[in-house]
Structure 1
């Protein structure tokens, strides 16, 4: 079943979702946007995406980003094979390839599907796995909760 993620206006990330879908990128929306899809408040300032790190999928991600005129430089695949935070015209987008103790394909199988105001369907991590994912990423060395910067 596909659930609606209606804003009454388009999300700034609808264009990214549409391009990923067009290129058949395997991805899962995680983080604050995923929490918002499930009905919780999104206090984050980024759009977090877990991408399947298989080489063909990474090639599709790079192609989609280039077509969207996102500056990722010559080292795009190297960045995406680990993780990357890109400051885009939509805001900060965080790409992760190791976001959960589970394998991407197993988590993808249990995703919930939502659609947005642009009628693009997108996979969102299941709510019960969202907290597990957060605990896992925070437990990795060097990872701390993101701090908002700028004016309050």
Structure 2
């Protein structure tokens, strides 16, 4: 069984389409989450200086505790973002490690495998004021993954 490392270089890796409003939002997210009072370390692929020596998959799996996925109507236009999200999801397909934290910038299509994951709806102006605090609390809680369930005592129902 895969064990998570206790220490990571980053609290989160950002997966997004790095164009237009998505880029503006990510820059705002990074500036806010890295400043006081949060002081989180956020990895954004195009800002990482040693990216040419390590793949995005390495940052997602080995160096970042979780992933923030910025979903929008533009998200599916980026093959790189789709690939990063699929890789991140493959690390914890049932979501029990809480590695993926989606933020919806628009009322947009959410991939089926993220339907059961709690999302932050940035487009909802009524809840926007709680976005940063909720995101911070989600990232901090991902530092303590859900413990593995002991499956040895469960009956085998698959024939």
Which TM-score band applies after superposition, normalised by the shorter structure?
0.3 to 0.5
Kindly name which structure, 1 or 2, has the bigger radius of gyration based on alpha carbons.
Answer: 2
Higher RCO structure (Cα 8 Å, ≥6 apart):
1
Q: What TM-score results when the alignment is normalised by the length of structure 2?
A: 0.32
Q: What TM-score results when the alignment is normalised by the length of structure 1?
A: 0.33
